[in-house]
Amino acid sequence: MLLFNKIGVKLMIAVSILVILILAVFAYFSIKFQSDILTAEVERHANQLSETIRQSTRFDMLANRREHLHNIINEIGKETSIRNVRVLNKEGEIIYSNLENEIGDMVDKNAESCYVCHAENQPLQKLTIKERTRIFRVNPDSARALGIINPIYNEISCWQADCHAHAKDKTVLGVLDISVSLKDIDETARKSSMSMLIYALIATLLIAIIIRLLVKHLIQKPIRNLVKATNYVAVGNLNYRISSTRKDELGVLANSFDNMTKKIAEMRMQLFQSDKMASMGKLAAGVAHEINNPLTGVLTYSSFLLKRAKDNPEMKADLEVIVRETKRSREIVKGLLDFARQSTPKRGKVEINEVIENALTIVSNQLKINHVELHKEFNKNITQISGDSNQIQQVILNLVVNSIDAIGSKGGTISIKTDQIKLSPYGIAQVRKATCPKGHDLMDEEHKINGRPSIKIKANSGNNEGFIHLDPIYGNHNHHYGIQFKKNEIIKLSCPQCNISLVDENELTPDCNAPAYKIIIPEQGVLKGCTRFGCNWQQWDVVDQSGEKNFVEIIISDTGSGIDNNDLEKIFDPFFSTKGQKGTGLGLSVIWGIVDNHNGKISVDSTLGKGTTFKIDLPV
């Protein structure tokens, strides 16, 4: 932004100009007033002096002691502040002066000292003190001077004196003219205006600085936050909040902005949801129609057979399974349509052990055919959990079928264990939102680890630069490294967007005394971890403090073929399948979705050739 476009600068300039104007006017009148008082003082002083000279020379004049008079004028003229003392006669001739060389000169009647009386050739006789005073400059560049004339009037004693120099009919005999230098006054005024100017400059500067600070704190900062927030929202981060604590108008604006973003986010979510629902609805309708027809065949024929198999208990039991499971399929398809209509899911109390038993009944034949030995280790005292038993049964069924497939025809063991456990959030809690200290979103929805969006951060190793995707599960360490690191190397971590360092050099981790990295988890504190490559220390205080929670744990392990390590992280991705034509690749992603919907967690551990273990933890 251009400097002059800033509100702060504009306000600063405007206020400064105003302050300067006000101070200038104030200074002008103040100096003028001061100067007037001083001038009046000098005037009074000059007048007094003039009177004194007139009085003191009166006797000499009467006695016509010119030499004596001259001396007095000369003596007085020596005073430094007095520029000139002279006496003019009526014709304008200088008869006495402290400046010897002008004696005898004629003064122009239009000259300043004479003009007051001789204007329009009408000599005035009585003059006020103001009228007798004049301020003038001898030369344009010399100091100002104040001149005062004092008319010497004719008196009885004058024309009766022995010298008979003056006639009786004259009114004014001459003029005593004193001029005093105003150099000192001018100097004082100049100094005054100088200091005024300095004070004005300092005051203006101070005001400008104060305004700058006020504007910065009261306007610029909140506005910058607002602009930042709008930028975030513009790029689609609708979870960004300003969270202003201010009570002023900008605070209200920030809160209203937050509120608006929240509403937009909700609206977008709703739109997204309805969009999803609409396409889901179309899909469901198609699927329902396609699946319901073959299901009708199965259901009618099996129920038909069931009716005819009344006398054959063994076949009847098998057929009952078919009928029951086909009815279950019917419920699933209906559920799909219900889902499309967004009717509430069938949540209820789920008895996990019972659900597992039901699932096992369905596959019991398959288990037998594949020579699978089943180990069941159920904790009978598991509390019921809240959920959809159909969906959970689907999860178990899918996993067991997968296990049977993995075991193949050569035979093996599947063990199913249920238990009620308390879990610390370590290894359970998932980071769903993460930002750098500047608020940039670090979550990478594209790059998933075990089916969950990862945390993307930039890493530097020597001259190498690349990205690390951190496992979003607190305490899990299936991080994906984009570049090579040396063993035990301390990695420099930064935000991919703004490059701000995520490492706090002052905080050292307890295990290896390396600096800790810090990732902001909005509204949930800070996730800390060790920057040393290979160290697994992590700490998330907020989550740790929330304490342990009750979970029902289901562990299904098999002695099957196992899953390749490279495939392990992809198995929960939709359409990922190792079964080739046999599978759709949707099974595990659906399972993952169901477990996630129940706020649970599913994890897998596998060794190629040894077997696979799935662990499901569902909150009670």
Q: Which segments of 76-132 are extended strands (E)?
A: 82-89, 94-97
Residue 297 interacts with another protein (CB under 8 A): yes or no: yes
Rg of the chain, C-alpha, whole Å: 54
How many residues are there in the chain? 620
Tell me the window of 228-236, 326-334, 554-562, 589-597 that interacts with another protein (CB under 8 A).
326-334
Residue 323 interacts with another protein (CB under 8 A): yes or no: yes
* Contact residue for another protein among 172, 226, 288, 332 (CB under 8 A): 288
* Contact residue for another protein among 21, 202, 285, 608 (CB under 8 A): 285
Tell me the window of 295-303, 476-484, 573-581, 593-601 that interacts with another protein (CB under 8 A).
295-303
Residue 408 interacts with another protein (CB under 8 A): yes or no: no
Residue 26 interacts with another protein (CB under 8 A): yes or no: no
Q: For residues 618 and 353, what is the distance between their CA atoms, to the nearest angstrom?
A: 13
Residue 193 interacts with another protein (CB under 8 A): yes or no: no
Residue 327 interacts with another protein (CB under 8 A): yes or no: yes
Q: Are strands 538-540 and 526-530 parallel, antiparallel or unpaired?
A: antiparallel
Q: Which residues fall within 8 angstroms of residue 236, CB to CB, at 6 or more apart?
A: none
| In the block, residue with structure tokens 């009085």 | 55
* Contact residue for another protein among 26, 28, 59, 301 (CB under 8 A): 301
Tell me the window of 29-37, 50-58, 163-171, 299-307 that interacts with another protein (CB under 8 A).
299-307
Asked if residues 147 and 131 have their Cβ atoms less than 8 Å apart, the reply is no
Residue with Cβ nearer another protein (345 or 574): 345
Nearest one of 370, 359, 282, 279 to 559, comparing CA atoms = 370
Residue 328 interacts with another protein (CB under 8 A): yes or no: no
Q: For residues 511 and 488, what is the distance between their CA atoms, to the nearest angstrom?
A: 12
CA 47 vs CA 86, 149, 150, 325: distances in Å: 14, 8, 8, 130
Residue 291 interacts with another protein (CB under 8 A): yes or no: yes
- Determine the 3-state secondary structure of 2 from DSSP: coil
* Contact residue for another protein among 137, 262, 282, 334 (CB under 8 A): 334
Tell me the window of 169-177, 180-188, 321-329, 588-596 that interacts with another protein (CB under 8 A).
321-329
Residue 280 interacts with another protein (CB under 8 A): yes or no: no
Dump the DSSP string for 490-510. Answer: BPEEE-TTT--B-EEEEEE-T
Residue with Cβ nearer another protein (290 or 523): 290
Q: For residues 344 and 116, what is the distance between their CA atoms, to the nearest angstrom?
A: 110
Least distance in angstroms from the C-beta of 345 to another protein: 13
* Contact residue for another protein among 219, 315, 337, 586 (CB under 8 A): 337
Nearest one of 336, 254, 243, 240 to 290, comparing CA atoms = 336
Q: For residues 275 and 523, what is the distance between their CA atoms, to the nearest angstrom?
A: 29
Least distance in angstroms from the C-beta of 343 to another protein: 8
Least distance in angstroms from the C-beta of 392 to another protein: 23
What is the CA 234 to chain-centroid distance, rounded?
16
Tell me the window of 257-265, 285-293, 383-391, 472-480 that interacts with another protein (CB under 8 A).
285-293
**Phi, psi dihedrals of residue 38, rounded to the nearest 5°:** -65, -45
Q: In the chain, how long is the greatest CA-to-CA distance?
A: 181
* Contact residue for another protein among 114, 152, 158, 299 (CB under 8 A): 299
Least distance in angstroms from the C-beta of 281 to another protein: 10
Give me 420's structure tokens.
């009620």
Q: For residues 440 and 232, what is the distance between their CA atoms, to the nearest angstrom?
A: 8
Q: For residues 193 and 219, what is the distance between their CA atoms, to the nearest angstrom?
A: 37
Least distance in angstroms from the C-beta of 396 to another protein: 24
Count Cβ atoms below 10 Å from residue 57 Cβ, excluding itself: 21
Residue 499: which region, alpha, beta or left (left: phi > 0; alpha: psi -120 to 50)? left
Least distance in angstroms from the C-beta of 307 to another protein: 6
Least distance in angstroms from the C-beta of 328 to another protein: 11
Residue 296 interacts with another protein (CB under 8 A): yes or no: yes
* Contact residue for another protein among 295, 374, 512, 590 (CB under 8 A): 295
Residue with Cβ nearer another protein (112 or 320): 320
Residue 348 interacts with another protein (CB under 8 A): yes or no: no
Residue with Cβ nearer another protein (34 or 303): 303
Q: For residues 362 and 422, what is the distance between their CA atoms, to the nearest angstrom?
A: 31
Residue 332 interacts with another protein (CB under 8 A): yes or no: no
Residue 290 interacts with another protein (CB under 8 A): yes or no: yes
Nearest one of 65, 102, 80, 67 to 177, comparing CA atoms = 102
Total binding residues for another protein by CB under 8 A? Answer: 26
Q: Interface with another protein by CB under 8 A: which residues?
A: 285, 288-301, 303-304, 306-307, 323, 326-327, 329-330, 334, 337
